[in-house]
Structure 1
Amino acid sequence: MTGVVPRATYPRAVLRIATLNINGVRAGHRRGLGDWLATRGCDVVTLQEVRTPLAALPEGAFGDYHVVYEPGQVPGRNGVAVLTRERPVAVRTWDADVLVRAPDETHLHTEPAPDDVPLARGLARHASEGRYVEVDLAEAPVTVASLYLPKGGLPAHLQVPGRMREAPDGGARHDRKMRFMAAFARQLARTRRAAAARGREFLLTGDLNVAHTTLDVAAGRRAQRSEGFLPEEQAWIAAQLSPRTLVDVVRALHPGQQGPYSWWSWLPGAHDRDAGWRIDYHLATPRLARTAVTAVVDRDHRGVRLSDHAPVVVDYDLPALTRPAARGTVSA
């Protein structure tokens, strides 16, 4: 664990929010996810790549959290979740149903999750993949979303047989990712504005599978011909950020710093050398971003990696957040 600031050291209350691509809930629990949840003191935890159908969730998988769980309909892949200390006021997703369960409940039934924001053109084909869920928090005027953006692939002109881990596909995976990103950008603007109309700040968390700048990749120069750091992908994430719309919270708290990375290959030595990527984000509306106190990456838990990703944990100043907003501070 790197640079962790225990909650007790703060002279004021904080809202602690973490995001983690767990790469399989069952695998994560074998590595200590349950203990991390029980001891880290998070108020909200968003998960990506849960990869586990409802009936196969480990007993007590999420401890004393309320769980909103969208596994999607692709067996063994994708899936997102949001864990909260208090039951959410509202839940929205792109698919018809999600699991909404209190800590003392054991039922497996799903509940309808109405979405008051129409899906942007191009997202309907992804609605059943388990890529997005959002909740309105009960403890703060914030909407928190969990996103798993497609990994993608190389464009056709960069594909060289024999130099790729996957079989060449003529750029199909890359094209699919870029279409998803274009559609999601439209959806993101709608969702952010809808949260503002409800009197809420908006926080997009999750695995975006894109590194923004050379500060976000250990080998930035070499990575520019790799999926996740292509010029068009960097341009996409840059277009989502501005002082009036969404702020990259971790980068705002760590300006000019290499990293802190949140993903490392399982290849021997990559984690020890900190040869990683920063692809897991907190993107917040400006007022919420200004309340961020600290941002840390839990590189491991008791010496064990929970996933090939690590939790990105941000503390937000809750009293500052719950004070009435000054006029003119609602994001566009």
Structure 2
Amino acid sequence: MLRIATVNVNGIRAAQRRGFGAWLQATNPDVVALQEVRCPEGDLPDDAFGGYHAAYDSGVRAGRNGVAVLTRHAPVAVRTLHSDGYDRPVARELRAAADQGRYLEIDLAEIPLTVASVYVPKGGLPAHLQKPGRMREAPDGGAAYDRKMRFAAGLSRHLDRSRRAAAAQGREFIVMGDFNVAHRELDVAAWRRSRQSVGFLPQEREWLAELLSPRRFVDVVRRLHPDQPGPYSWWSWMGNSYAVDSGWRIDYHFASPGLARTAVRAWVDRETDGVRISDHSPVSVDYDF
């Protein structure tokens, strides 16, 4: 059995104080994808990754972004969007984000599997939905929304290339992470009032719908929980949304069809020893692979 997990730690140093190490020990995953590690490599705390081998792209923005993949054995290959000699073209829409620590991909050494960790930009509202005085952020004319959708378009092509390259080597492929988009109404507790919210806009949801297909990528958790609301993986720190489980499902396992068929169990660890690791919770899946 292969146990794979993903979690947006919202800062590895804060997550470690809240019990990330205890979660690693209790869950004992074979592979973990991390997002928002938010720490320069030289400032990582001792044993930040619990003794796992860590492939890490911190990005150039101090205290922002950062993705990693933790494994029991050192991977045979590590690829980022800015790798020298990357063995396939990087989509032009991703080049502006190449040094931001948003995507990392590895080939496992012990089994034929390629694993990617991604952190999609949060984005913003398109220009026609921006109303001064009704937004937390200052209106930007839709600039953040446009950046997110450009990244999304490039990511789709990049993931297809990576999946095909993995298949050519006899490998299955999985991309995990914080996509900052909820796909279906089942993925947002308060979906009716969220229809014009960042992360649940029609264009964002259409992008995910196009990415997912029986021959392309499979949403593994939804395959195992077809009719269940959630299971949610993100809750605001504000108010009582966590207590009443009014969350969003925006952290995913998107797997190649061959790998997806082997998934036997999926769950969300809301707490470890009664403490939230982050505003996101780990999403874990057991694969009989």
TM range (shorter): over 0.9
Which residue, 58, 69, 72 being the options, matches 1:82?
69
1:116 partner SS: coil
Please state if 1:48 is matched with 2:19.
Answer: no
1:60 partner SS: coil
Return the offset for 1:244.
0.7
Structure 1 counterpart of 2:158, which letter? Answer: Q
Which residue, 153, 156, 160 being the options, matches 2:124?
153
Structure 2 counterpart of 1:83, which letter? Answer: L
Which residue, 165, 187, 198 being the options, matches 1:194?
165
Hey, what's the Cα distance between the residues in 1 that align with 2:86 and 2:9? Answer: 26
Please state if 1:296 is matched with 2:283.
Answer: no
Which residue, 10, 18, 22 being the options, matches 1:35?
22
| Larger Rg computed on CA atoms | 1
Q: Find runs of 4+ consecutive structure 1 residues off by over 3 angstroms.
A: none
- Could you say what the CA RMSD is over the residues aligned between the two structures, in angstroms? 0.9
Aligned residues: 289
Please state if 1:120 is matched with 2:91.
Answer: yes
Hey, what's the Cα distance between the residues in 1 that align with 2:102 and 2:93? Answer: 14
Aligned twin of 1:70: 57
Aligned residues of 1:91 and 1:114 also touching (Cα < 8 A): no
Please state if 1:246 is matched with 2:233.
Answer: no
Aligned twin of 1:268: 239
Which residue, 18, 30, 47 being the options, matches 1:60?
47
2:68 partner SS: strand
Per-residue CA deviations over 1:262-320 (Å, capped at 9, x if unaligned) read 000001311011010000000001110000010000011111000000000000003xx
Return the offset for 1:121.
1.8
Return the offset for 1:89.
1.4
CA, structure 1 residues 84+114, in 2 after alignment: closer, same or farther (shift >3 Å)?
A: farther
Per-residue CA deviations over 1:232-288 (Å, capped at 9, x if unaligned) read 000000000111111000000000110000000001311011010000000001110
Return the offset for 1:39.
2.2
Which residue, 7, 11, 15 being the options, matches 2:2?
15
Give the structure-2-normalised TM-score.
0.98
1:68 partner SS: strand
Structure 1 counterpart of 2:181, which letter? Answer: V
Structure 1 counterpart of 2:32, which letter? Answer: V
Give the structure-1-normalised TM-score.
0.86
Structure 1 counterpart of 2:154, which letter? Answer: A
Hey, what's the Cα distance between the residues in 1 that align with 2:148 and 2:86? Answer: 23
Structure 1 counterpart of 2:79, which letter? Answer: R
Per-residue CA deviations over 1:113-143 (Å, capped at 9, x if unaligned) read 6421110122111100000001111222110
Return the offset for 1:68.
0.5
Hey, what's the Cα distance between the residues in 2 that align with 1:313 and 1:15? Answer: 10
2:221 partner SS: helix
Aligned residues of 1:93 and 1:114 also touching (Cα < 8 A): no
Hey, what's the Cα distance between the residues in 2 that align with 1:245 and 1:186? Answer: 11
Please state if 1:172 is matched with 2:154.
Answer: no
